[in-house]
Structure 1
Amino acid sequence: MKSHVKALVVGGGAVGTSIAYHLARAGWEDVMLLERDELTSGSTWHAAGLLPLFNMSYATTHIHKYSVEFYKSLEAETGLNAGFSIVGNLRMAQTQERMDEYMLYASTAETAGVPYEWLTPAQIKERWPLVMTDDLKGAIFHPTDGYINPADVTMAMAKGARQRGVMIERKWQVDGYEWTGSEWKVTVTKMGEKGGNLVPTEETAVITAEHVVTATGNHAQRTAKLLGIKIPAIPVEHQFIVTEPDPALLEYRKNGGAEHPVLRDADAKWYVREERGGWILGPYELGAPARFQYGVPDSFRADLFPLDLERIEEEYMSMIHRLPTSETVGLKDDFNGPICYTPDGNPLIGPAPGLRNMWLAEGFSFGITAAGGTGYYLAQMMVEGEAEIDMASLDPKRYADWQTVDWAVAKNEEAYEHVFILHHPDEERPAARPLRTSPAYDRQKAKGAQFGCVNGWERPNYYAPMGFDDHASRSFRRGAWWQYAVEEARAIRETVGLIDATAFAKHTVKGPGATAFLDRFTCNKLPKVGRINLTYALTSAGTTRTEYTIVRNAENDYYLVSAGAWAAYDEDYLVKAAEDFMAETGQMVIVQDVTTQWGVFAIAGPNARDVLQKLIRDAEPETALSNKRFPWLSAKRIELGMVPVNAIRVAYTGELGWELHHPIEMQNHLWDKLVEAGEEFGLKLVGARAQNWLRQEKSYRAFGNELGRDATPAEADLPRFIDLSKEFFGKDAMVEKGIRAKCCTLLIDGPEDADPWGREALYLEGRKVGRLTSGGYSVAFGKSIGMGYVEPELAVPGTKLKVKMFDQLWDAEITVDSPYDPKNATIRKDI
C-alpha cells in the first residue's frame, strides 16, 4: 500500500467508488480508495437500486441525470454489465394538487434537459393493465429512468477506477486525521475478522494525502468525531419487501407485456417494481426511527434490522389496492437497513467546514442515483476549482455548529417521512421548531406571524389573522397566505412596513490588514468611512461565491452583512481567505462572527422617516434623517429612545428605508417603540414573502437564486459593482469567461391563480432559451414577476418570451432593470 497519494477516498460504496473513478478520469494520478470492510458492504448492498430523476433541486436534478447517462456507458468501458433496466419511472397522482407538483417539477426537469411524458389514467391502464387507475388523475413518466443492480454498478465503477490507476485497498479503517499545514496524515488500521465481527488488528500505517474525501455513509458520525466537525448525516431505517411471484404478472409477461416501470404512488407513500416475477414494495412510512446517531457498532457489518410490518401495514394495503393481483401473493424476502439522511434530504457534497483539502460526500438517501453525478461534479470542484453547475445548495456548510445530534435526528426522521409528502414551494417543515428565536418572536407570534425557518432562525414569512392555518394554506398556486403578502407589499409601497431581518449573517473584519484584504477579497470599490457598498467575493473560477453589504466604520474596521441562510458558508470562506492573506502578507486581519450579538429591523416605505423621527434622540431631530445629514448608502450610529442603533440607509425593498442594527438584548424595547410610533403612519408588519416580491420589482439579485457559483457578477449584469481597475481574486477567470448567459427581469402574464416560483423554463418560438431563478407577484404592476437567465442577446428590454407554468406557455416580457422606480427617486426621497 502506498504511503503518499494525491487524493485519498475513504469509503467503498457506490459514492466512494464513483469519486475515485472520476478523479482519475479528470487526470489525477495517485488516487487511493480505502474501505474498512468489503466494497458495497454499507447501505449499497441492500439498496433497491432505483434511479429516480424526479427532484425539485436544480443541482440534484443534474446529478441524477448525469448518473443515469453515465451508468449506461460503463459496460462498454469495463466489460461489466451493471444490470441497468431502462423500464422508465411512472409517478402517479391521486389528486390535482399532486399533478400541480409534477407540473412544477416538469419545469425544473426541462431546465436540466430531463425528458418526461404525461399520461392519463386510461393511457396508464392501456400500457400496464395490472395497475388499478380508477382513482388516479394522471402521471408523469420518465422513459429513460429505471433501476440498476447497486453491487454491480459499484463493481463496474471500481473496475473502471482501477483501469485508470486507482488503488483500492480493502479492510483498512481510518482511525485519525491530522492536518500538517500542507497535507493530511491519515492513520489507518488493518481490519480482521473474529467471530463474524470486524475487528482491528495490530497492523497500522500512516498515509499522507494532499486531499481527502470522506464517503463513509452510515459511519458519518464517526467521521465527524475524527475530524472535529459536525455532519448532520444520520441513518434512518428503511424497509422494503419482496413478494413471491405473482401469477397474473407472470401471465402478463408471458403474453408479451412489457416490464412495468418503477411505479410510484406518492399519495400512498411507496414505490414498487418488478422482481423475478414478483414485486418489490418500498414504503416511506411515518415513524421510521433514526439509528446510529452516535456511531455504528463494530459488530454491525452487512447487517439488517428486524422487520416491522405493522409500521408499513397501511402502505402494504395500498399496494394491494393499486395492484389487486398482489393480494394473494406471499412474502418472499424482507429488508430493513440503515439509509443515511440529512435534515433536508439532500446530500452533503463539498469542502468540509473549517478544514483545508478535506471534502465531504455524505448523507445520501438516494445514493445509487446520486453516486455517478456526485463523483463527476465533486471531481470538477477538486480538480478545476468549481463545478459547471452551482453546488452551493448541497454544500455541507449549509448547516452550522449550532446543530446537535438531537436536532439532526428529528429533522432526518422528518426528511424520511417527507419523501412522498407534497413538496410545496412554500413548504415549512415543523420538526425541531422553534429552536433559534429572536427576542421579538413571541411578540410577532401574538400578531399572527407565520414563521419560516432560515438557518434554524424563526423568521416571519407573513402575518395572518389569529387562528390561520399556514399548513392548510400551502399550494402550488396562490395559497390563502397570498392575500396577506399582497397587503404587506402594498404597505411598503404606500405607507410603511417593519421587517425582522435578525437572521442576517454579520461579521466584523478589523486589523491593520483589513482594508488590503477586503480590497483583494471583493470585486467592488471599498466604501469610504461612514458609507456602505454592495460587493461580491468570487470563486477561483470567477463566479459569485458570496454577496456582502460592507459598512466601513473606520479606516480598518468593517461590518459585513450577508444572507442569513448562508451564514456558516460565508464565514468559512471569509475566514479561510483571511488566513491565506495573512500567511502571504504578514498583515493581521481579525474576523469575528457577531450574528447573535445584533438584531436587525428593516423599516421601509414613504412614511419610514416619519416613524423614526418620533424616536430619534438628536439636537435637531427634524433634520437628523435628511439626505444632507444621513444620505442614501451611508451608516450612522443613532439613538432611538433608549436603544443605541447602527443604522444603515438601505432597503432591500427599494423604498425609502433603514436597516436598524441593534443590541439583540434590547430588541423587544425597540420593537415596541417602533410599533407604537408607527401606528399613526399606517405601519404594517411585513414578512419575507412580500419582501421577496418587492426586491424583484427592483431587480435586486439574491444569493442562491440569481447569484451563485455557476455565473459571474458580470453575467448577473452587475457591472456597477465590479471595479476592473483593481486586482481582486477571481478577476482574470471572470473576464475570460465572458457573458455566457445574462440575468434579467421579466413581467409575466401568467395564470390568474398562480405565480412562478423561480424554477420555470423560458422559451422563444418553441426553443428553450433560459430559466427563471426567482418568481412572485408584483403589486406595482399587478401581474407576475420573475428574474432569471437567458441567452445574452435576448436580455434586452422588450424581448417577448414564454414561460412554462402548469404545462402551458404564458407570455413574458423582459423589462428594464429595476422596473419599479428605475431612477431610485423613492429611495433618495428627502424631507
Structure 2
Amino acid sequence: MKTQVKALVVGGGAVGTSIAYHLARAGWSDVMLLERDELTSGSTWHAAGLLPLFNMSYATTHIHQYSVEFYKTLEEETGLDAGFFVVGNLRMAQTDARMDEYQLYATTAETCGVPYEFLSPKEIKERWPLVRTEDLKGALYHPTDGYINPADVTMAMAKGARQRGVTIERKWQADGYEWKGDHWDVTLTKMVEKGGNLVPSDEQVVVSAEHVVTATGNHAQRTAKLLGIKMPAIPVEHQFIVTEPDPALVEYRKNGGAEHPVLRDADAKWYVREERGGWILGPYERNAPARFAYGVPDSFRADLFPLDLERIEEEYMSMIHRIPSTEEVGLKDDFNGPICYTPDGNPLVGPAPGLRNMWLAEGFSFGITAAGGTGYYLAQMMVEGEAEIDMASLDPKRYSQHWMTTEYAVKKNEECYEHVYVLHHPDEEREACRPLRTAPAYDRQKAKGAQFGQVNGWERPNYYGPLDAPERFDHDARSFRRGGWWQYAVDEAKAIREGVGLIDATAFTKHVVRGPGATAFLDWFTCNKLPRVGRINLTYALTGAGTTRTEYTIVRRGEDEYYLVSAGAWSEYDADYLRKAAENKAGEFGYVEIQDVTNQWGVFAIAGPKSRDVLREVIKDAEPDTALSNKRFPWLSARDIELGMCPVRAIRVAYTGELGWELHHPIEMQNYLWDLLLEAGERHGMKLVGARAQNWLRQEKSYRAFGTELGRDATPAEADLPRFIDLSKEFHGKAEMEAKGIRSKCVTLLIDGPEDADPWGREALYDGGTKVGRLTSGGYSVVFGKSIGMGYVSPELAKVGQTLKVKMQNRLWDCEIVEDSPYDPKNENIRVDG
C-alpha cells in the first residue's frame, strides 16, 4: 500500500469512486481510494438507482444533470455497462398546487439546461394505458431521466479511476486523522472477516495525504467524531418493495408497449418503476425513523432492517389505485435500509469547518443521482480553487458547530424524509426543532402576530399577520403564487416607504477584527477601500478564483479595530473563511484577533421618512434635536449613542433604501429597547416589518444579496458593483477577477407578470426565443405596483430599456431592464437631513 499520496478519498460507494475518478481526470495523478469493506457495500448496494433531475436547488440541479450526462459516457471509456436505462421520469400531479410547483421547478430546469415537457392526463393515458389518470391534473415529464444499476455504475467509475492511475484499497478502515501542518496523517486499520462480521485486525499503517476527502455515507457520525467536528448527516430508514410479475404489464410489453418511465405520484408520496415484469414501489411515508445517530454498529455491513408494511400501507394502496393491475400482484422482495439525510435534503459538500485540506462529501439522500456531479464539481474546488457553479448552498458550514446537535439532526432529517414529496413551496417554513435559537424579543414579536422563518437556527419574523391568527397561519398562507401573507408584506413595505417601520435583524453575523495586523489584513482581504474611523463601507471578500465569497459592512471603530457585519444565514461559513485567511497571512501582516460576537449583539433596523422622529424621542444627548442630523450623524457613519438606558452602536445605513439606522445593542437589553421603541413609534404610526417586505424593498434599490446575486459563480464586477472595487490596490482574487472579465451582468427588471403571482428568483430570461439569463431574486414592488426581479443576463443585453421575457407559470411575460436603484436613484431620501 502507498503511504504517501496527493489525495486520499475515504469511502468506496458511488460518491467516493466518482470523486477519485474526477480528481484523476482533473490532473491529480496520485490519488488513493479507501473502502472499509467492499466497493458499494454501503447504501449504494440497496439503492433503487433512480436519477431524478427534479430539484429546486440551482446547484443540485446542475450536479444531477452532470451525473445523467456523465453516466452515459462510462461504457465507451471503461468497457463496462453502467446499467443506465433512459426511460424518462413522469411526475404526476393530483392538484393545481402540484402543477404550480412543477411550473416553478421548470424554470430552474431551463436555467440549467434540463429538458422537460408537460403532459395532460389524456396524453399520459395514451402513452401508458396501465396508469389511471382521471383524477390527475397533468404531469411533468423528463425524457432524459431514468434509472441505473448502482453497483454497475460504481464499478464503472472505479475502473475509470484505476485507468487514470487511482489506487483502490479495500478492507481498510480510517481510524485516526492528524493534521501535521502541511498534510494529514491518516491511521488505517486492516479489516478482517470474523464470524460473518468485519472486525479490525492488529495491522495498521499511516498514510500521509496532502488532501483528504470523506465520503463515508452511513458512517458520517463516526467520521465527524474522528475529525472533532459536527455534521448533521444521519441515515433514515427507506423502504421499497418489489412485486411479482404483473400479467397486465407483461402483456403490455409483449405487445410492443414501451417501458414505463419512472412514475412519481408526488401527492401519494411514492415512486414506481418497472422491474423484470413487476414493479418497484418506493414510498416516502410518515414516521420513518433515523438510525445510527451515534455511529453504525460494527456488526452492520450490507444489512437491512425489518420491513414495516403497516407504515407504508397508505402508499401501497395508493399504488394500487394509480396502477390498478397491481392489486392482485404478490410481493417478491423487500428492502429497508439506511439512506443518509441532512436537515434540508442537500448533501454536505466542501471544506470541513475549521480544518485545512479536509473535504466532506456526506449526507447524500440521492447519492446515485448526485455522485457523478459531486465528483466533478468537488474536484474543481480542490484542483482549481473553485467550482464553475456556486456550491455555497451545499457547504457543510451552513450548519453551525455552535448550535447544531445530534438530536436536532435526527428530528430534522426525519422531517426532511417525510417532506420529500410534500409540496415544496418557495415560502416554506418547516416546523421541526422550532423554536430553537430565539432573540429576547421573540415572545413580544409573537404576541404582535409575527410569523417566523428560520435563518441559521434563529427565529426571524418573516411578516406580521393578524393577532387572532391560528398557530399554523404561516403554513396555511403558503403558495406558489401570492400567498396569504402577501398583503401583510405589501402593507409593511408601504409603511417603510411612507412612514416608519421596525425590523429585527438580530440574526446578522457579526465579527470584531482587531490587532496590529488587522488593517493590513482587511485591506488585502477585501476589495474596497477601508473606511475612516467612525465611518462604514460596503465591501466584498473574494475567492481565489476572483468571485464573491462574502459581503461585509465594515465599521471602523479605531485605527486597528473593525466591526464586520455579514449575512445571518452564513455565520460559520464567513467565520471559517475569515479565520483561515488571517492565519494564512499571519506571517505577512502580523497578529490579528477575530471574535465572533453574533450572539452578543442584537440588531433592530428602523427605516422610513419618520425614523428620525421616532429616535429623537428616546435619544439621550445634550442636543437631541441635532444628534441625528447629517452634520453630526452623516449617512454611512457609525456612532455610539444612548437610547433611553440602552447603549447602542448605531449605523446610519438601511437595507431598505430609506432614511434609517441599524441599532446594534447588547442583546441582554433587547426587550428594554424593543419596548422603548414601540412606545415612541406608536405616536408616529410605526409598523413592525418582516424579512419578506425588506427583501422586496432592497430590490427596488438594486441592493445585491449574498446567496442570490452575490456568490461564488460571479465576480463583484459582474454583479455590476464597480463603486465597491478599488482597483488601485492589491487584494485577494483581484487578478483572477480581472482575468474573468464580464461573462454576464447583474440587472434589475420590472415585470408585467400575472395578476396573482410574482417571481421567486429562479426564473429563466429570454430574448425572443433565446435563453439569455436567469433571475436570482424576485418579488413585488410597492412603488411601481408590479413584479420586480434581479438577475444576470448576457453583457450585450444589460442596458436600460432592454425588453426581455421571463418564464413564469409556463408562459413568457414581458419585462424591462431598468436603471440601477429604480427607486430614488440619487439616494436623496436616504441622505435627507433633519
Q: Does 2:820 align with 1:812?
A: no
Give me the whole-angstrom Cα distance separating, in 1, the residues matched to 2:450 and 2:409: 26
Query: Aligned to 2:505, which of 501, 508, 532?
Result: 501
Map of 2:229 onto structure 1: 229
What aligned pairs does 1:183-198 form with structure 2 within 5 A after superposition?
183-198=183-198
Map of 1:666 onto structure 2: 669
Map of 1:436 onto structure 2: 437
Query: Aligned to 2:592, which of 589, 592, 602?
Result: 589
1:77, CA displacement in angstroms? 0.3
Map of 2:246 onto structure 1: 246
Map of 1:338 onto structure 2: 338
Q: Does 2:820 align with 1:778?
A: no
Aligned residue type for 1:457: W
Map of 1:347 onto structure 2: 347
Map of 2:308 onto structure 1: 308
Give me the whole-angstrom Cα distance separating, in 2, the residues matched to 1:673 and 1:467: 25
1:223, CA displacement in angstroms? 0.3
Give me the whole-angstrom Cα distance separating, in 2, the residues matched to 1:473 and 1:509: 42
Q: Does 2:61 align with 1:61?
A: yes
Give me the whole-angstrom Cα distance separating, in 2, the residues matched to 1:140 and 1:449: 36
1:71, CA displacement in angstroms? 0.2
Query: Aligned to 2:477, which of 461, 473, 481?
Result: 473
Give me the whole-angstrom Cα distance separating, in 1, the residues matched to 2:799 and 2:661: 32
Aligned residue type for 1:533: N
Q: Deviations over 1:4-50 (max 9, x none)?
A: 00000000000000000000000001100000000000000000000
Query: 4+ runs of 1 displaced by more than 4 Å?
Result: none
Matched residue SS, 1:681: coil
What aligned pairs does 1:753-764 form with structure 2 within 5 A after superposition?
753-764=756-767
What aligned pairs does 1:238-387 form with structure 2 within 5 A after superposition?
238-387=238-387
Give me the whole-angstrom Cα distance separating, in 2, the residues matched to 1:126 and 1:731: 58
1:511, CA displacement in angstroms? 0.2
Map of 1:643 onto structure 2: 646
Map of 1:800 onto structure 2: 803
Give me the whole-angstrom Cα distance separating, in 2, the residues matched to 1:492 and 1:397: 34
Matched residue SS, 2:239: strand
Map of 1:206 onto structure 2: 206
Give me the whole-angstrom Cα distance separating, in 2, the residues matched to 1:666 and 1:316: 55
Q: Does 2:657 align with 1:654?
A: yes
Query: Aligned to 1:688, which of 668, 687, 691?
Result: 691
Give me the whole-angstrom Cα distance separating, in 1, the residues matched to 2:58 and 2:591: 40
Aligned residue type for 1:473: A
Give me the whole-angstrom Cα distance separating, in 2, the residues matched to 1:118 and 1:800: 27
Give me the whole-angstrom Cα distance separating, in 1, the residues matched to 2:346 and 2:605: 32
1:466, CA displacement in angstroms? 2.2
Map of 1:454 onto structure 2: 455
Matched residue SS, 2:92: strand
Give me the whole-angstrom Cα distance separating, in 1, the residues matched to 2:587 and 2:394: 30
Query: Aligned to 1:524, which of 522, 528, 535?
Result: 528
Give me the whole-angstrom Cα distance separating, in 2, the residues matched to 1:591 and 1:578: 9
Aligned residue type for 1:810: W
Aligned residue type for 1:489: A
Map of 2:398 onto structure 1: 398
Aligned residue type for 1:545: R
Please, what TM-score do these two structures have when normalized by structure 1? 1.00
Aligned residue type for 1:642: M
Q: Deviations over 1:85-113 (max 9, x none)?
A: 00000000000100000000000000000
Aligned residue type for 1:408: A
Aligned residue type for 2:583: E
Give me the whole-angstrom Cα distance separating, in 2, the residues matched to 1:568 and 1:265: 38
Aligned residue type for 2:438: T
Give me the whole-angstrom Cα distance separating, in 2, the residues matched to 1:688 and 1:739: 31
Give me the whole-angstrom Cα distance separating, in 1, the residues matched to 2:287 and 2:706: 35
Map of 1:217 onto structure 2: 217
Give me the whole-angstrom Cα distance separating, in 2, the residues matched to 1:518 and 1:580: 13
Q: Does 2:537 align with 1:533?
A: yes
1:584, CA displacement in angstroms? 3.6
Matched residue SS, 1:503: coil
Give me the whole-angstrom Cα distance separating, in 2, the residues matched to 1:513 and 1:473: 51
Identity %: 83
1:131, CA displacement in angstroms? 0.1
Q: Deviations over 1:565-602 (max 9, x none)?
A: 001100000000111111344x1100000000000000
Matched residue SS, 2:683: helix
Aligned residue type for 1:481: W
Matched residue SS, 2:437: coil
What aligned pairs does 1:669-748 form with structure 2 within 5 A after superposition?
669-748=672-751
Aligned residue type for 2:50: L
Q: Does 2:542 align with 1:554?
A: no
Map of 2:424 onto structure 1: 423
Matched residue SS, 1:534: strand
Give me the whole-angstrom Cα distance separating, in 2, the residues matched to 1:84 and 1:9: 25
Aligned residue type for 1:294: Y
Q: Deviations over 1:95-150 (max 9, x none)?
A: 01000000000000000000001100000000000000010000000000000000
Give me the whole-angstrom Cα distance separating, in 2, the residues matched to 1:82 and 1:314: 34
Map of 2:576 onto structure 1: 572
RMSD: 0.4
Q: Deviations over 1:786-805 (max 9, x none)?
A: 00000001111100000000
1:470, CA displacement in angstroms? 1.1
Aligned residue type for 1:788: G
Map of 1:618 onto structure 2: 621
Give me the whole-angstrom Cα distance separating, in 2, the residues matched to 1:77 and 1:230: 38
Q: Does 2:491 align with 1:487?
A: yes
Please, what TM-score do these two structures have when normalized by structure 2? 0.99
Give me the whole-angstrom Cα distance separating, in 2, the residues matched to 1:375 and 1:466: 50
Give me the whole-angstrom Cα distance separating, in 1, the residues matched to 2:272 and 2:427: 29
Give me the whole-angstrom Cα distance separating, in 1, the residues matched to 2:669 and 2:474: 30
1:467, CA displacement in angstroms? 3.6
Matched residue SS, 2:152: helix
Give me the whole-angstrom Cα distance separating, in 1, the residues matched to 2:140 and 2:442: 42
Aligned residue type for 2:486: W
Give me the whole-angstrom Cα distance separating, in 2, the residues matched to 1:294 and 1:583: 40
Give me the whole-angstrom Cα distance separating, in 2, the residues matched to 1:324 and 1:465: 46
Give me the whole-angstrom Cα distance separating, in 2, the residues matched to 1:688 and 1:424: 17
Give me the whole-angstrom Cα distance separating, in 1, the residues matched to 2:620 and 2:668: 20
Matched residue SS, 2:85: coil
1:453, CA displacement in angstroms? 0.2
Give me the whole-angstrom Cα distance separating, in 2, the residues matched to 1:553 and 1:312: 60
Map of 2:102 onto structure 1: 102
Give me the whole-angstrom Cα distance separating, in 2, the residues matched to 1:612 and 1:393: 38
Q: Deviations over 1:142-190 (max 9, x none)?
A: 0000000000000000000000000000000000000001000000000
